[in-house]
Each structure stands twice: as C-alpha cells, then as structure tokens.
Structure 1
Amino acid sequence: MPLSFKLLKLTTNIYQVVTEIIKNIESAFLALRGNEDDFPIGKNYINTYEDLKLKFDTQVHPEIKTKILEIEEDGYYNDHGVDHIKMVILRATWLLNALEITFDKNSDGYYISPFELFILLMAIQLHDAGHLIASREEHAAKGKELLAKFDSGKVLSAAERKHIGDIAKAHGGKKDPIGKLPIEENLSHQKIRPQLLASILRLADELAEDKTRASNFLLDIGKIKETSIIFHLYSASLESIVLSGGELKLDFYIHDEVLLKKYSIKDKDDKYLIDEIYDRTFKTFTESLYCSRFLPEKARINCVKVSIHILKSDDDDELKNISYELKETGYPYVSNKNIYDLCESLKDDQSNIDGEYIKNFIENNLNHESI
C-alpha cells in the first residue's frame, strides 16, 4: 500500500489539499518547503535540516567509515556511512508507510507532525555518530555529546539537541532505553512522541541490513579482518527484505562453500555462518517484539519468516532450502528460549539443523543431484 499524506500548499492565499505518493520520508520532508507555518515559529527547519545534513554527509559519516576501518580488528563492523543512513531512512519509510501517515490533522491516516519528522530525521543522522569518540559498546550513548560539540553555532536549541540525542541513543542497549523515554513531550511549543520516534529509528536500523551493507569487494579479494568475515558474509547473503501485513520476510542466498568452515569471532568461539544467521534472525525477531510495544498496531512486526537458499558453488543450483518462522506462541516470554525451541522446522528427528549439520549435509551431497 503506497504511503500518502496531505500537503497544504499556498496558492493565491488559498490552501489547497494535495495528495502525493511518498517513497522516502526525507524527500517528503523537504517537499514541505513553503509550509513553514506547520513548524515551530521562528526557524526554518527545512533549511536547518539541509544545512546539518550536509555537514553530517561531508564531515561526520565519512569519518565514521574511516574510524570503523581503523577499529575493524575488533570485528563486527560493516558500513556505517552515508549509504547506511539512506537505508535507515528507507526502512523508516516502510514502517511509516504501514501507518499511512499524514501531515494533515484533519485527514485520514496516522498524523505525524512535520516537526516530529524533523526530529526523527536528525536522530537518524546522529545515531551512529558516537563511533567517532567511543567504542562500539558505548557509541549509542555518545551521540548526544558529539551533537553538542557539532552544533557549535547553536542552530538547534538545547532542548532540541537533548531530545534528538535521547532518541538516537535509544537505538542501542538492552535495558529498555525506549521505555525510559517519555511517551509525549512538549518541545518548541509542539508535541512530540519520543517513544514512537525512537522505536521507528531502532527498528529501521535493525532492518537496514542486507547485501548493500557488506564490503563485497573486500570479501572477494580476502582483505577483511578474519574476525569480521562472518558478519560481512551475513550481510552479503541477505538478498531480500520485505515487510507486509505485520510479517517480515528475509531471503538468504548462500553458496555451499562458505558453509563448510567455522569463522573466527573476537573473544568468542568460532562459528558457522548458518548459526550466525539463526542468531541474527532471532535478534531481529526480539527487536521487532520490543519495538512493537511502542508502535501503533498497523506498524508492528509479529512474525519473521526466513528462507535460506543454499546454492551449489559451481552452477548456482539450489542444493537445499531451510525455511522457518519466528513468532510468539503460548505465553509471551522468549528470553529463555532459543531458535530451535521456537522453530520445529529446524529439527531433523532429534538433531538440530545447525552449522555442523549443514556442513555434513553439503559434504555428503557434493556429487549429488540438486534438489
């Protein structure tokens, strides 16, 4: 269902209601130029966003990418540059698309104020910036500190920087960071909903993970740090992400040769790529459940469906397909469960279809007809 909103345009002093199709919330925000009365009085927030975005694109995001390359030895680092920001914006568009958002309080749909959209877009720009001054574990908490230094000209008010920083900070952490935010807050004489905006950002960031985020060329030439290979392989194998009707569909395509070995991970046991996919899709499921607490029903993800297509390396024929669904069953408590508890399809009699199982399967079928 296409995302639409009501845009008020001034023509010879008469407001007309125009319906437009939105493919990107950033483009939709910029299209509000000329409707500054919808924002807090006294500031052109569209110009402000464009000016700050330009600084982020030229001074912050490229530096984050450079910084990530410097600390790649720790592992688990992929693209955090401009392209990642664009992907998070697109995924946020998906979530808002499900709500059929509107910028007109009097029209059908879920109302999002232009000012709230400004706050969300600024938080998206900021959310990974803490990597410049902090470790991976601490980067979410450091974004606010960096924004205060970055906005040296005080283009934003202290209150605006605080709430943008708090929403960006909530994209990480397991101690209920979104729940600690207020449901509503008054800012610059307008109402914003920090929990809603933070849940959209956090879930959009979780879904901004596919083949475009992997360093595919460096993978091909073997120039990625050993402890980072498995994480780039995960991204490279994620071919498609589709969100529809409360269901998230993930399709992975993987050549059999990369499933035959375990990969090193810093300070952890070596791991098969299949097991990493299980763990990451389980994390996506739990993140979806968590963020859905703060989202309207239409935007909630209740089920994650995964298909893993294992292809023969010599001719791309499908050797095996592993499919499973992650959804709540019974009493809603998953923290003491693993993916095998939730997905019977990942069991073969008494054996789990894990990385070791798949390795043995491939080795036993190297000269077997494709299925």
Structure 2
Amino acid sequence: MLAMYGGNIGLDQAEAMLISKIAQAHGGKTLSGDKDTIGQLPMDGIPIAAITCRPRQVAALVRFADEICEHASRAGRHHIAAGTLPDHNKLFHYYASSVRGAVCIPNGCFKLHLAINTKYLLASYPLPPDAAGVSAEKYLIDDVLDRIVKLDCERRYCNQFLDPGLQTNELDVCIELMEDREERPSIWVLAEVDRYSFRIPAKEGYPGAQDAWRDGMPELKGLTLAGRAKEGWKK
C-alpha cells in the first residue's frame, strides 16, 4: 500500500541512506573504532526534498531520548507481582518499576526520581551471559548507579550536537528507599525509610564518565544496603 502511494522510503535512496547513517550512530563504535559515532555523520544542513536535515542533531535527540525512556510503564508489573520474571530479566524490570519520573525542566536540568522497594535490595541478580557464556551477578542499587553514570555520560556527549535550548546542564537525582509496612491489619502501604538526593553538574568530554559524586555516598552500595535490609532497615 505504501509503495502504491509513493510512501515506501526504500524508493528514496537519499533519505533511506541518511536514516541508516543516523541509526548507525546510535551507539557502539565506528569502523575505525572511534566512539564518536555522531561526530562522523555528515555536517548539518543536508537537503532532503524540500527540507534541510540536521543529522547530528537528530541522532543526538534520538540517542538521548532512548537513554531516558525507561520508566515504570515499561516494567512487567504482572510478572513482578506474580514472581514469574526470568532471573536474567529481574534487574531491568526492578529498575524500570522504580523510576517514578524522568523529565527535563525549563532551566536545562534533567530530573530523575526513583522509588526502590527495599525487598529488591536483599539479593544480587544474574546478568545476561556474555559472549563467553559467563553470567555475573549484580545488586540493584549498583545497577541503578551505573545507569546514572551512563545517563550522564550520554547527556554530555549528546549536548555537543544539540542547540543550546535542547541541552541539559545537569542531573538532579532523588532515590527513595521504600519498605512494605502493614498500616492496619491486611492494609499494606509503602513507607519511605531513607532518601538520597544529589546533583551531577555539567562537565565536558566523552567518553569516560566522571562519577566522583559516588564517593560522597559510600553507603549506597549493594552489599551495604542488603545488610541493612536484612536487619530490618535501621538508619
């Protein structure tokens, strides 16, 4: 049907090739091994039909948007509640279910709000096997912080190709630790037992994420929080 009405993008080689190049810049490395995949795209101002396309800005927008799109709506809530998640999927779905908000505000700050149930902090979870078939394990909070490091790294990288009005200047992160509590007989609520709030200011450069902000929160580690959770969560 698309081909009948001239809507088959495969018939427009110029546009198809440009989209392909933008998609290839979504991550990984170039053929020469360079991590600066967006920087290898054609210079801004490529004419396509009656418009001028800016491939670097499009690639940066798509790449950063993909980085921030994981939130509670993408979690398998039914499987979480039923306890039927495959082991190798638990980390992602527990993380996604914890993201309460991820939004850019007008001053160029990106706000990330997580609420993590302490029952998910008790144990480590297997990662998908690597190329050699070996599967390591990881605690949820360690995975959360690693994802924040990657988010900041991608934010700084994509900023290089975005107009000033589209750039994010810093990350504002809030991590709430929540515990199931019986408020009344058979009435359970989530109660906050601890909270960590911090900002990651603007930095230049990519790759090599700078995560010195983690040094100020030595207690925010998998083994440490697992121990606190097992003890009944005392501050």
Class of the TM-score when normalised by the shorter of the 2 chains: 0.7 to 0.9
Kindly state the Cα deviation for residue 263 of structure 1 after the two structures are TM-superposed.
Answer: 0.4
Whether 1:219 aligns to 2:80 is yes
**Long gaps (5+) in structure 2:** 30-34, 130-134, 182-188
Instruction: Give the distance between the partners of 1:181 and 1:155, measured in 2 at CA.
Output: 20
Q: 2:68 aligns with which of 185, 207, 210?
A: 207
Q: SS at 1:251's partner residue? A: strand
2:171 — aligned with what?
Answer: 304
Q: SS at 2:65's partner residue? A: helix
Q: SS at 1:312's partner residue? A: strand
Whether 1:317 aligns to 2:177 is no
Instruction: Give the distance between the partners of 1:313 and 1:219, measured in 2 at CA.
Output: 15
- Deviation track 1:138-172 (CA, whole Å, cap 9, x = no partner) reads xxxxxxxxxxxxx8x56641111111222233222
Pair member with larger Rg: 1
The answer (yes or no) to whether the contact 2:122–2:226 under 8 Å persists in 1 is: yes
Matched ranges for 1:45-194 at <5 A: 156-174=11-29, 175-182=35-42, 183-188=44-49, 190-194=51-55
Q: State TM-score, norm by structure 2.
A: 0.81
Kindly state the Cα deviation for residue 334 of structure 1 after the two structures are TM-superposed.
Answer: 6.8
Kindly state the Cα deviation for residue 342 of structure 1 after the two structures are TM-superposed.
Answer: 2.8
Q: 2:66 is aligned with what amino acid?
A: D
Instruction: Give the distance between the partners of 2:201 and 2:126, measured in 1 at CA.
Output: 30
Instruction: Give the distance between the partners of 1:342 and 1:299, measured in 2 at CA.
Output: 25
The answer (yes or no) to whether the contact 1:196–1:294 under 8 Å persists in 2 is: yes
Identity of aligned residues (%): 28
Instruction: Give the distance between the partners of 1:170 and 1:189, measured in 2 at CA.
Output: 24
Q: SS at 2:79's partner residue? A: helix
Q: CA RMSD in A?
A: 2.5
Instruction: Give the distance between the partners of 1:165 and 1:223, measured in 2 at CA.
Output: 38
Q: SS at 2:144's partner residue? A: helix
* Higher mean C-alpha deviation, range 225-234 or range 153-162: 153-162
The answer (yes or no) to whether the contact 1:324–1:343 under 8 Å persists in 2 is: no
Instruction: Give the distance between the partners of 1:168 and 1:295, measured in 2 at CA.
Output: 17
**Long gaps (5+) in structure 1:** 1-47, 53-150
Q: 1:256 aligns with which of 98, 118, 124?
A: 118
Kindly state the Cα deviation for residue 302 of structure 1 after the two structures are TM-superposed.
Answer: 2.0
The answer (yes or no) to whether the contact 1:346–1:353 under 8 Å persists in 2 is: yes
Instruction: Give the distance between the partners of 1:334 and 1:167, measured in 2 at CA.
Output: 19
The answer (yes or no) to whether the contact 1:213–1:235 under 8 Å persists in 2 is: yes
Whether 1:276 aligns to 2:143 is yes
2:184 — aligned with what?
Answer: none
Q: 1:288 to 1:257 in 2, by over 3 A?
A: same
Q: 1:154 to 1:304 in 2, by over 3 A?
A: closer
The answer (yes or no) to whether the contact 2:156–2:206 under 8 Å persists in 1 is: no
Q: SS at 2:96's partner residue? A: helix
The answer (yes or no) to whether the contact 2:153–2:208 under 8 Å persists in 1 is: no
- Deviation track 1:12-37 (CA, whole Å, cap 9, x = no partner) reads xxxxxxxxxxxxxxxxxxxxxxxxxx
The answer (yes or no) to whether the contact 1:216–1:236 under 8 Å persists in 2 is: yes
Q: Could you say which structure has the higher helix fraction?
A: 1
Q: 1:319 to 1:334 in 2, by over 3 A?
A: farther
- Deviation track 1:56-111 (CA, whole Å, cap 9, x = no partner) reads xxxxxxxxxxxxxxxxxxxxxxxxxxxxxxxxxxxxxxxxxxxxxxxxxxxxxxxx
Kindly state the Cα deviation for residue 301 of structure 1 after the two structures are TM-superposed.
Answer: 1.2
Instruction: Give the distance between the partners of 2:10 and 2:20, measured in 1 at CA.
Output: 15
Instruction: Give the distance between the partners of 2:229 and 2:9, measured in 1 at CA.
Output: 60
